[in-house]
Amino acid sequence: MTVMTDHRPHMLTENFEEIARIGARVGEGLRLEFIDGMLRSKAVPDSDHALIIEWLTRVCMQHRPELWLYGELGLKVQQYRQGRARPDGVLAPSGSIGGQGDWVEPEPVLMAVEVTSYDSDTDRRDRHEKPRAYAQTGIPVYLLIDRDKCLVSVHSEPDGQRYERVMTVPFGKEVELPDPVGITLPTEPLKDWVR
């Protein structure tokens, strides 16, 4: 007997966007996403999570002042842009995302960033679904700062389905963010922001 998996979306993208708008008005900090046709929620970031994004913003500004690390930006992802994600950070040319409303097109994005949260679905979301969604979208670099494992993973060379190259280093080592980002990331400070 063959078990069939149903890959149809649970709802239309337009329905998700309306639910996300209502959710944002009703619940402070409610962060909804629509990945692989399924409704997902993200944990509210803690203070160490915020410090990691602050640190990464400073590093990016020092090395690439023409870019900006946008936080909590709604991003159209996956094939045919039917998915909706809220990366912890999106690196793009300064001013390139204006005039698009709640969910922006991914074309100017050079890098998507996720910082793991201490919740039950961070493994599925940040280590599996998000890299696939960002690779399908063609985002050149995906940076995962994994506080659970004290690792930094740099995914690059998207082939339309997955990232062909993944470089992983422990907190404390430098890691290259490849072109088009072109920054060497000193990860020693990350040791201060884990539980």
Per residue in 106-120, pLDDT (tens digit) is 999 999 999 998 777
Going by DSSP bridges, is the β-strand pair 163-170/174-177 parallel, antiparallel, or unpaired?
Answer: unpaired
* Confidence class for position 7, pLDDT limits 50, 70, 90: low
Domain annotation for the chain: domains and CATH numbers: 44-193 (3.90.1570.10)
- Please check whether residue 65 is in contact with residue 91, taking contact to mean a CB–CB distance below 8 angstroms: no
Residue 22 has pLDDT above 90, yes or no: no
Compute the distance between CA of residue 128 and CA of residue 167 in angstroms, rounded to an integer.
Answer: 15
Query: What is the percentage of the chain residues whose pLDDT exceeds 70?
Result: 91
- Please check whether residue 185 is in contact with residue 141, taking contact to mean a CB–CB distance below 8 angstroms: no
- Please check whether residue 89 is in contact with residue 69, taking contact to mean a CB–CB distance below 8 angstroms: yes
Joined tokens for residue 172: 């404390």
What average pLDDT does range 5-30 have in this prediction?
72
Predicted TM-score (pTM) of this structure: 0.86
139-187: per-residue pLDDT in tens?
Answer: 999 999 999 999 999 999 999 999 999 999 999 999 999 999 999 999 9
- Please check whether residue 107 is in contact with residue 162, taking contact to mean a CB–CB distance below 8 angstroms: no
The mean pLDDT of the chain is: 88
Going by DSSP bridges, is the β-strand pair 141-146/111-115 parallel, antiparallel, or unpaired?
Answer: parallel
The residue assigned the tokens 């074309």 is 107
